[in-house]
Structure 1
Amino acid sequence: MRVLLLGKIPPIQGGVSRSTWLAACDFLDAGHSIEVISNADAMDYGFRQMTTASDKELEVFRKRGGVIHNLESVPPHSYIPWSSPFLSQMLGAGIASIRRAAPDVIVGWYLEPYGVAASILGKMFNVPVILRHAGSDIGRLRNVADLGNAYDAFLSEAAAVITGKSAQTDEILREAGVKPHAMFKVKGRALHRSFFEESDDFDLHELADRSEEWFSHYGFDEDLYRKLIEWNRAALDNDEPAIGTYGKIAEVKGTYNIIDAIDSLAGRGVKVSYRALWSATPKRFAHAFRYLSAKKNLRGRSMILPPLAPWRVPAFIKSCQGVAFLENRFPISFHTPQVPREVIACASPLILSGEIYEKVYFGSQLVDRINVLKVEDPQEPAQLEAAIAELLASPELRKCLIHHARALSRILEARTPVADPIVEIAEGLLQNDDRTKAVA
């Protein structure tokens, strides 16, 4: 089977990029040929992962026969009013790919612009299309009337639409006109092998050095850039236990709550530091860093790095004494982040907001102070400070969390498909099999 996939892949940051990349590898593992069209190299630095010379995964993918076509960058303001012409570029690259070798199926992963481009190409060349949505496309973008009309038209015509098990997404897709036989409710795949390998591949000095050049491309003003570099250098030799966070930053992500909590604890003499991989636009990053750098107790105790490639995330998690995921009051209720599962897989103590404690699919298997530390409301400073302080002060609690997190992860991963279900769904479409074993 020949697959043409349009979507985000590394070095684009985020969970969709990670999942799309792993699915592309799964198609190769299953013996299929695949070409990926992405705008990864055309992304601004605020949306990129920081890569290093030892990040060889994309190169390995190509050596195995996978093809990656990265769109070239178009100089800003090449026309007015300006916006990146990613949709037209995706279509152009897709047309060229199909003329070289016709695919058996076209995949669009995330609706804007990838799913839209995949749908147009499928209609142009009469090729079945598989669409896979996330939370923000059907939960936020679809609420813009002009976008929603387009998305609904393409969703209703797709040969397959892959979704999760949320009743809300089910309702949205039915409202969009997705045919019942075309809707596939699936679980995601198993975590990347790096989450289960012993690794000491987290050299803080090397990453800090690399980040200095990386941050120079962000578009920060010179004063903030210099302050950020000096701030990170001051923390390089700190050996106090680190509480970590990674991913997008925002108030609803608990970014400012964790900063306040660690600053307060450090001010009371608690040995603690903060280590983070922040993903944000330059404006949002600068705002959060100015907030952080105003905390005098955190100078020499906090380091902020860019997001790393997904196969490097496990080493970051394991470098921390505990990792916090404090999403709260998030506007898309069916958003289901994977960070808690990743932290548990690394057998690292997880500090989790009450909202996500209830939301994750394995919430019924979470037990506060046994395999997770629950903070009901991260916006209540005393709750978050108490959880961090207890974790750092109690070796017994830490051992308990590590032991039971490891056991829970074994159960979760044993029940999860080794490969992404999209592979089996695509194979089933070609075999005219309406339902496959990938359907939960």
Structure 2
Amino acid sequence: MPLTLCLIGKFFPIQGGVSKDNQWLAYILAKAGIHVHVVTNAEEVEPHYRCLEWTAFPPLPADCQGSITIHTTQKEERRHYIPYANPFVTKLAAMATEVIRTHQCQLIYSYYLEPYAVAASLASSWTGVPFGIRHAGSDIGSLFQSAELQTAYREVLLSADYIVATPATYRGFLHLGISQEKLTFPAGSYLPPHMFTPDTPPLDVNAVLAWMHDHLPADPYYEVFRRFAQKTFQPQVPTIGIYGKIGEVKGSFDLVKALACLQRQGIAFQFLTLAQGSASALKRFAETIEEVGIATHTWLLPFLPHWTVPQFIRACTAVCFLERDFPIPIHTPLIPQEIFACGTCQVLSHEIAEKQPYYHHLHHGANVFLVDPHHQDELAATLRTIIQHPHSSQQIGLQGFQDVGRTHQQMTMAAEQGWQRFFPQIYEDIQQRRMRMSLAEMQSHLAHLYTNDAFRHLFAIAPDVSFAHYLLTEQEKQALRAIDRRLLDYFATSLKMKQQGYFRSIYPATFLLEETLIQRLFNRFYQYYPAHPQEDFFPRMLAFGTFMEQSLALDESAPPYASEIAKYERLHYRYTYQTTSDDAFTSINLNPSFATVPIQLNSIPTLLSGVFQETFVYPIISLMDALKNQQALEEIAIQSGHYDLVFQREPHSLTLKVFTFNRETSFLLNLCQEHHPVAAIIEKTEQYLQATDLTDDILEILFTLQEQHIIGVSNDSPSEA
């Protein structure tokens, strides 16, 4: 039976990344045979952020077994209550509840906290259908920061059955108290590869201008678009484009000022925008274009459907994305990926480039142009190069496609399959988690049955004996006696195998050791420390690592370095996922300050937050690399000794860097943890090494550690004891 999903969120004609994600998600799920019921308030979106229907949404394939059904709230006569607000949460929750009951939806998916996740939470509580939440950058980075809203969002998140997290927010959810088993990492955003491609034909701008003449809404907001549409677009003239929302932090005005420089130099170009914003922002943008004298060769197009964006990109010589100083650090727009996928030359701000996972593949002037929008002369010079050398710019765009866009096309096809598998899998997982009985004693007895082989055998032979230590009613005992023994064995085995799969994903190198040995120890752990259906995931993963580390150290059949492998993987997992106050969502907009402070003799160096020191007996990095590359460990030199490692967490990320240091540098780091001034560190290090005149060498090492963000430096004097 195909899954029926209730999707509560933004949808066309709302503009933006969340709406776009929901549109394409519904499309690929329907292609996979899932029936998607979209519950949205999209028809009520204000003109500022409304897409006009230049073309219709692409039809589903003729043989498609799934479907997309849109249920949208409507603008109606104002309801008379004071103070007035459009009751979106109530309308969406009520509509979703009716949709779920009428169409027998099995799962709810919501995207964005307000109003969609709140409405999903209500609909779930009224229908009993499990719900999940996916967040964006602005809801966590802005809405969640409101003291008036935060409690509601916290309760909604805690009550969710699953949450789609990101590396930037994963530890934040753990810090909030959400179990790790509820956090998911499905595939990334989907872009239809047959549309976002260099082969897409360019947008017929003049056809759009003609259509605007007849179809622009009468709302006064659109007058500015009419004003700029009264001329013919020349496709053969080099064209600089931007699309998205207008704003200071979007670099919109930086670009206009840079183009004004080219205008004064007599350079011919066209400026094409597919952009909107608040009425005041749009008015200011248009007036700035007119004031700097480029209005005669500028065209402002209103928001068009996302499936038109590839054609817009292909109509431009280069497309700029110049966001800078954005107040929400975790905000990571996907517009650069769209441009790379279309093979058009791109001008990208350093701030956005550095947020991209493919940042190290970006090369200024080879496959992209990287600029600081604050520096208008630099931006103008880059635009001049593009306009005066359109053929070279075209080649740079195609190289961007080869280096970044083509890979993303492959990833987006994997994303399609990932999302199509995700919802059936999460539904099955939730159903397993919900197979819990509310009565505490009965639940405890069941948990024992599921996880303890000996107790399960006792129950099979003498069920009444197994009841002896549980305060069960006669009705509960009868229910337990009626359990199908084969199903019980099946569920117990399934739970054990699932647990082993979790362990293997966290301790992959440990499980690459001798199979019989690891299986024996896993079985022992599972018997000594049986899993419980409601057990917290994180401490159990750590407990398994500690158990394996100690058992492998004592087991004569295990190689001497085996316990070190379990120790390394346990620490790697712990330092990646263990939360601190820095992970709280209330701190998510705080950018860590890595300002380089001059190191003086009275400076006090300390290890920065997120930096951890550990010591190993064997060359653990070489061992891990060998196991990862399936190299026989006998082929590498494994000598016991003293190996010092530093684990370093990146802010707003699950990336954990690992450094290997020599013993002398590790000694320095140990002193840094004791809050000694530099002068004392130099003295103690010289004593330790039985050497003199090491001041310059030690200062150089400390400066390098500071540059790598391993230590921070304070020039305050230490307080008196």
**Alignment TM-score > 0.5, same fold:** yes
Aligned to 2:56: 55
Deviates more, 1:59-68 or 1:116-125: 59-68
Aligned to 2:47: 45
Over 3 Å counting, the alpha-carbon distance change for 1:78 and 1:233 in structure 2 is farther
Is contact 2:32-2:66 (8 Å) kept?
no
Is contact 2:202-2:314 (8 Å) kept?
no
Over 3 Å counting, the alpha-carbon distance change for 1:101 and 1:397 in structure 2 is same
Rg comparison, structure with higher value: 2
Aligned to 1:271: 268
Q: Aligned to 1:419, what secondary structure does the other structure show?
A: helix
Q: Aligned to 1:124, what secondary structure does the other structure show?
A: helix
Q: Aligned to 2:70, what secondary structure does the other structure show?
A: strand
Deviates more, 1:277-286 or 1:15-24: 277-286
Does residue 405 of structure 2 align to residue 404 of structure 1? no
Q: Aligned to 2:207, what secondary structure does the other structure show?
A: helix
Over 3 Å counting, the alpha-carbon distance change for 1:233 and 1:78 in structure 2 is farther
Give CA deviations for 1:129-173 in whole Å, capped at 9, x if unaligned. 11000000011000011221111111112111102222xx12332
Q: Aligned to 1:57, what secondary structure does the other structure show?
A: coil
Letter in 2 for 1:321: T
- Aligned counterpart for 2:69 among listed residues 56, 67, 70: 67
Segments of 5+ residues of structure 1 without an aligned counterpart are none
Aligned to 2:209: 208
Aligned to 1:371: 367
Q: Counterparts of 1:294 and 1:77 in 2: how far apart (Å)?
A: 44
Over 3 Å counting, the alpha-carbon distance change for 1:29 and 1:216 in structure 2 is closer
Aligned to 1:392: 387
Over 3 Å counting, the alpha-carbon distance change for 1:235 and 1:256 in structure 2 is farther
Is contact 2:111-2:133 (8 Å) kept?
yes
Q: Counterparts of 1:201 and 1:355 in 2: how far apart (Å)?
A: 29
Over 3 Å counting, the alpha-carbon distance change for 1:396 and 1:42 in structure 2 is closer
Over 3 Å counting, the alpha-carbon distance change for 1:271 and 1:147 in structure 2 is same
Letter in 1 for 2:126: M
Does residue 20 of structure 2 align to residue 18 of structure 1? yes
Does residue 351 of structure 2 align to residue 350 of structure 1? no
Q: Counterparts of 2:235 and 2:361 in 1: how far apart (Å)?
A: 36
- Aligned counterpart for 1:380 among listed residues 336, 355, 375: 375
Aligned to 2:638: none
Q: Counterparts of 1:187 and 1:266 in 2: how far apart (Å)?
A: 44
Shift of 1:80: 3.1
Q: Counterparts of 1:217 and 1:63 in 2: how far apart (Å)?
A: 40
Give CA deviations for 1:154-200 in whole Å, capped at 9, x if unaligned. 1112111102222xx12332233322111113441442231127333
Q: Counterparts of 1:105 and 1:13 in 2: how far apart (Å)?
A: 26
Is contact 1:164-1:186 (8 Å) kept?
no
- Please show how residues 242-321 of structure 1 align to structure 2 within 5 Å: 242-296=239-293, 298-321=294-317
Does residue 26 of structure 2 align to residue 29 of structure 1? no
Does residue 181 of structure 2 align to residue 185 of structure 1? no
Aligned to 1:109: 111
Give CA deviations for 1:360-383 in whole Å, capped at 9, x if unaligned. 1211211111111000x2011111
Give CA deviations for 1:100-126 in whole Å, capped at 9, x if unaligned. 132110011111111111111112211
Q: Aligned to 1:67, what secondary structure does the other structure show?
A: strand
Deviates more, 1:227-236 or 1:327-336: 227-236
Q: Counterparts of 1:56 and 1:332 in 2: how far apart (Å)?
A: 32
Is contact 2:131-2:162 (8 Å) kept?
yes
Letter in 2 for 1:381: Q
Is contact 2:275-2:300 (8 Å) kept?
yes
Deviates more, 1:59-68 or 1:155-164: 59-68
% identity of equivalent residues:
27
Shift of 1:399: 4.2
Q: Aligned to 1:427, what secondary structure does the other structure show?
A: helix
Does residue 124 of structure 2 align to residue 122 of structure 1? yes
Q: Counterparts of 1:293 and 1:410 in 2: how far apart (Å)?
A: 39
Q: Aligned to 1:196, what secondary structure does the other structure show?
A: coil
Does residue 170 of structure 2 align to residue 173 of structure 1? no
Is contact 2:339-2:346 (8 Å) kept?
yes
Q: Counterparts of 1:406 and 1:58 in 2: how far apart (Å)?
A: 27
Does residue 355 of structure 2 align to residue 359 of structure 1? yes
Aligned to 1:194: 195
Q: Counterparts of 1:208 and 1:403 in 2: how far apart (Å)?
A: 28
Over 3 Å counting, the alpha-carbon distance change for 1:142 and 1:2 in structure 2 is same
Aligned to 2:162: 160
Shift of 1:327: 0.3
Deviates more, 1:287-296 or 1:205-214: 205-214
Q: Counterparts of 1:154 and 1:422 in 2: how far apart (Å)?
A: 23
Q: Counterparts of 1:210 and 1:162 in 2: how far apart (Å)?
A: 40
Deviates more, 1:361-370 or 1:340-349: 361-370
Is contact 1:262-1:273 (8 Å) kept?
no
Over 3 Å counting, the alpha-carbon distance change for 1:76 and 1:325 in structure 2 is farther
Aligned to 2:709: none
Q: Counterparts of 1:383 and 1:75 in 2: how far apart (Å)?
A: 52
- Aligned counterpart for 1:229 among listed residues 211, 226, 251: 226
Is contact 1:234-1:299 (8 Å) kept?
no
Give CA deviations for 1:49-73 in whole Å, capped at 9, x if unaligned. 1212x32437989996321111111
Is contact 1:152-1:177 (8 Å) kept?
no
Is contact 1:235-1:300 (8 Å) kept?
no
Is contact 1:13-1:279 (8 Å) kept?
no
- Please show how residues 82-161 of structure 1 align to structure 2 within 5 Å: 82-161=84-163
Aligned to 2:325: 329
Q: Counterparts of 1:6 and 1:197 in 2: how far apart (Å)?
A: 33
Letter in 2 for 1:326: L
Is contact 1:235-1:302 (8 Å) kept?
no
Q: Counterparts of 1:190 and 1:36 in 2: how far apart (Å)?
A: 18
Q: Aligned to 2:319, what secondary structure does the other structure show?
A: strand
Q: Counterparts of 1:328 and 1:207 in 2: how far apart (Å)?
A: 30
Over 3 Å counting, the alpha-carbon distance change for 1:396 and 1:237 in structure 2 is closer
TM-score, normalised relative to structure 2: 0.56
Q: Counterparts of 1:235 and 1:18 in 2: how far apart (Å)?
A: 30
Deviates more, 1:276-285 or 1:329-338: 276-285
Give CA deviations for 1:272-295 in whole Å, capped at 9, x if unaligned. 111001121223212221222222
Is contact 1:235-1:303 (8 Å) kept?
no
Is contact 1:165-1:186 (8 Å) kept?
no
Q: Aligned to 1:21, what secondary structure does the other structure show?
A: helix
Q: Counterparts of 2:212 and 2:177 in 1: how far apart (Å)?
A: 46
Shift of 1:202: 1.8
Is contact 1:272-1:301 (8 Å) kept?
yes
Letter in 1 for 2:68: G
Q: Aligned to 1:151, what secondary structure does the other structure show?
A: helix
Q: Counterparts of 1:420 and 1:161 in 2: how far apart (Å)?
A: 19
Q: Aligned to 2:121, what secondary structure does the other structure show?
A: helix
Letter in 2 for 1:175: H
Letter in 2 for 1:394: H
Q: Aligned to 1:253, what secondary structure does the other structure show?
A: coil
